[in-house]
Amino acid sequence: MRREAATVAGLLDDATARIAAALGLAHRDARLDARVLAAHVLGTDTAWLIAHDTDPLADTHVAAFESLLLRRLDGVPIAYLVGTREFYGRPFRVTPDVLIPRPDTELLVERALACIPSDQAVDVLDLGTGSGCIAITLALERPLARVAAVDRSTAALAIARRNADILNAHIEFLTSDWFAALAGRRFDLIVSNPPYVAAADPHLARGDVRFEPLTALAAGHDGLDDLRRLIRAACDHLKPGGALLLEHGYDQADAVIELLRQHGFEQTCTLRDLGGLNRVSGGRRPGGVGRACGYTCADVLPVINDDS
């Protein structure tokens, strides 16, 4: 054990330098990693660390920190090391069985919330739920909604169920390869953050992504395999006027909009994430009387099931 790492400040300085060197991170990002790991080991928060930087540390804490740090130096994502990641203001348990929730996906959630009235019991489906972050957030933000969530990975569903229990969300979880277990079921809104990275994309071999489940990330030669399957099948599982909202890669909006139109979706639109990248596209199954209120691509999809 390195002697100079016996205080909070010493531990953080040492870890920051080692993380920055091993992972090629900027000093600021490496320091944040070090703080999050230290706060986790000490059972505190990062604000406490700043106020106690001259405090001496127990050997057991230093040893526990060092073993987590070594895994971080190997590239293991912080979220897997501490077992949790915040999404839409709530903590979600994560393991390497599930994708780590990303801020990009909050856009999908925001737009889905804009589609779900707070005073009606609409049926919502989340396909490939992973940690459950989308389904659980929708269920908690719209308590009247009946939210179903599927994943073909039973390991992922176990995490999603646990998150729903911890956060007290009521969700119907089903093991299902996309719509396989949903024959005859129709929803007002279907959302998904499916795998959409091209199998040969070098992005998959870099950084945190290397440790995430490949099945949640990669989707064939152009990344569109699962989006194609979802869009093709979605109309049969939407009520008339029901909406489909999909996250996709920054360069896939045109292809997704084209697929949506080919399969009869109307009012298609694409929305940009905070970084200005095309990130979510959606459309509506025709047929909802009185529901197709006009909107432009700059707007959200209009409220569904609005019979007024």
Q: Which residues bind ligand GLN (CB under 6 A)?
A: 102, 104, 193-197, 203, 209, 217
Nearer to ligand GLN, 213 or 287 (CB): 213
With respect to ligand GLN, which residue has the nearer C-beta, 217 or 269? 217
Closest CB to ligand GLN among 207 and 287?
207
Neighbouring C-beta atoms of residue 263, cutoff 10 Å: 16
Q: How far is the CB of 107 from ligand GLN (least distance, A)?
A: 11
Cβ 8 to ligand GLN, closest distance in Å? Answer: 33
Q: Tell me how far, at minimum, the Cβ of 221 lies from ligand GLN, in Å.
A: 15
Minimum CB–partner distance for residue 291 and ligand GLN (Å)? 29
Least gap, CB of 24 to ligand GLN (angstroms): 18
Nearest approach, Cβ of residue 100 and ligand GLN (Å) = 9
Q: What is the 3-state secondary structure (H, E, C) of the chain?
A: CCHHHHEHHHHHHHHHHHHHHHHCCCHHHHHHHHHHHHHHHHCCCHHHHHHCCCCECCHHHHHHHHHHHHHHHCCCCHHHHHCEEEECCEEEECCCCCCCCCCCHHHHHHHHHHHCCCCCCCEEEEECCCCCHHHHHHHHHCCCCEEEEEECCHHHHHHHHHHHHHHCCCEEEEECCCCCCCCCCCEEEEEECCCCECCCCHHHHCHHHHHCCHHHCECCCCCCHHHHHHHHHHHHHEEEEEEEEEECCCCCHHHHHHHHHHCCCEEEEEEECCCCCEEEEEEECCCCCCCCCCCCCCCCCCCCCCCC
Indicate the residue among 193 and 268 with the shorter CB distance to ligand GLN: 193
Give the residue with the Cβ less far from ligand GLN, 5 or 217.
217
Cβ 203 to ligand GLN shortest distance, Å: 6
Q: Which is nearer to ligand GLN, 2 or 203 (CB)?
A: 203
Closest by Cα among 288, 222, 304, 297 to 257: 297
Tokens of 211: 């440790």
**Which CB, 123 or 226, lies closer to ligand GLN?**
226
